[in-house]
Structure 1
């Protein structure tokens, strides 16, 4: 497995130096950026797509748990480790948002064991994502104080709508701040980028309707009233998904 990309956020410079020193000696760890505030941490995750974020639970501009939620909106599978001086923070809140926690003052052995456990978890997850079939694969969407897990085969289409993205499923619609490009990384082979604003589930298509003098087709789905768009220059590529064409 490739090195795990790590970003860190803590307003205590000394803590960052200690963590960087420890992780630099660990096989499989690659620190790609540090921040002393939540805003910069968010920018790091957007830019570098890291595997692991190590976050202070008490950031100057945002609580660590709120920051973790925002990072998961950007990258749902990012592993989170909190840094805290208070042992009580390691209970219920951590179970919801974090893979582990590290207490201050920083203990080198604790950092090493935490990273190695998460690295192993990431390794297993990546192998699983490579081998699993689409019927069991799911994506997770953060909705305020809850996280919804959606089976890929329940999705009709995904649409860019203003600053958000809408996921239309058999059990409703869900809104996320993730982009179409970010979501594409986690979708199965049956998903097709039909239009600049749409990704469609080809297994759910019922019919494609053509309109004269239009630059797109309408895509209709089984058991779904809504429609998606298909650019005319994408129709031949879409036909490759059909078992038999006449």
Structure 2
């Protein structure tokens, strides 16, 4: 399997890399913190991420939340010296939890179990669990020329789909993400509403509905000059939600 190692301790990375190679797997990349790991996962698409928990910039638990939104998503195995995070790690749907110093036999057992699942199967299982638990992220991760940008959900005005990408319009501009509007709608159903087959708008920034021509409507978005079209199909639900403001 292709494996990414994320740990801010060089000696730990070196030791893990050696064991992974000895067990017949390939280390495709190493990262020093969570933000770097997200970037490398999107670039190399590893089957497994061996993830430390306490790291600078972004810790492993938050990183795992963002990794769970990727498609395909890698299997996450936490590797840490702190056993008090075990419950949180299990709740994050991690596929394994190894305490440092990690024994080669323990690592082999975890990797052998993961080898039995194909990357596609792991992705499908994780997505199903995410939908069932309806766990909401607090930020959206977007890969830009500056690296990985984290956009707080409360700063997002709307999502606009365009072919295979979705534009995220937020307080500091806009970015593209490789996620589907359907998945975003399911995850943030309490914060965003669909107004068109290609658009979700934040309920926090929805400023009003206006008739423009021949029965066509558009919505105003607080703090923005641009307006978004509302389809007739989604107009009744939008009106109902607005009445409950």
**How high is the TM-score relative to the length of structure 2?**
0.54
Cα separation, 1, equivalents of 2:137 and 2:120: 28
Cα separation, 1, equivalents of 2:62 and 2:119: 27
Q: Which runs of 5+ in 2 are unaligned?
A: 139-159, 169-174, 189-197, 200-230, 236-245
Quick one: which of 137, 144, 147 aligns to 1:144?
137
Cα separation, 2, equivalents of 1:81 and 1:47: 19
Q: Which runs of 5+ in 1 are unaligned?
A: 130-136, 146-157, 177-196, 199-219, 227-246
2:89 is the counterpart of 1:93: yes
Give the SS at the match of 2:116: helix
Quick one: which of 113, 116, 122 aligns to 1:117?
113
Quick one: which of 42, 59, 83 aligns to 2:55?
59
Listed as ranges, the matches of 1:1-246 within 5 Å are 4-27=1-24, 29-75=25-71, 77-122=73-118, 125=121, 140=130, 143-144=136-137, 159=161, 160-162=166-168, 163=175, 165=179, 167-168=181-182, 173-174=185-186, 225=234
Q: Is the 8 A contact 2:21 2:27 kept in 1?
A: yes
Q: CA deviation at 1:119?
A: 1.5
Give the SS at the match of 1:32: strand
Q: 1:124 to 1:60 in 2, by over 3 A?
A: closer
Segments ≥4 residues shifted beyond 6 Å: none
- State the Cα deviation string for residues 148-185 of structure 1 (Å, max 9, x = none): xxxxxxxxxx932333555348xx92468xxxxxxxxx
**How high is the TM-score relative to the length of structure 1?**
0.54
Cα separation, 2, equivalents of 1:71 and 1:122: 17
Aligned positions, number: 159
Cα separation, 2, equivalents of 1:49 and 1:168: 23
Cα separation, 2, equivalents of 1:7 and 1:140: 22
Considering only aligned residues, what root-mean-square deviation do their CA atoms show, in Å? 3.6
